[in-house]
Amino acid sequence: QVQLVESGGGLVQPGGSLRLSCQASGSTLDLWRIGWFRRAPGKTPEGVSCVDWADGTTWYASSVKGRFTISRDNAKNTVFLQMINLKPEDTALYFCAADATRRKFSAYDEVPIFGDYLGQGTQVTVSS
């Protein structure tokens, strides 16, 4: 089992920045990928970004590419999502997600993570 705890959400004006953190604990040696989903009101959850826990390969949704940067600190079992130039459409509940099971994904999956484990979420609101 892996436990995930997010932090860093909040209210920010359009064009602003936020940095989300996700602390993993438990069976972290089993981690394959870790990343972020988001769920906006009235919309289906969207994969935002993920990173391969071992080699650091990253993936991004086209809607955030160039504005969001994912990084990890394996020693601290923590993954970060640096978000800049935030837009109102980025408003959502952001969930940290982790996979221990290795899966094959379609080439059309921009963010290849399933979410074996999910955090409780942290709210990001972009509004003036």
Q: How many CB atoms lie within 10 A of CB 126?
A: 20
- Residue 117's pLDDT band (cuts 50, 70, 90): very high
Tokens of 84: 């800049």
Task: Give the separation between CA 84 and CA 98, rounded to whole angstroms.
Answer: 23
What is the residue whose two structure tokens read 């600190």? Answer: 73
DSSP letter for each residue of 52-87: ETTT--EEE-TTTTTTEEEEEEGGGTEEEEEE-S--
Whether the per-residue pLDDT at 124 is higher than 90: the answer is yes
> What percentage of the chain reaches a pLDDT higher than 90?
89
- Residue 94's pLDDT band (cuts 50, 70, 90): very high
Whether the per-residue pLDDT at 32 is higher than 90: the answer is yes
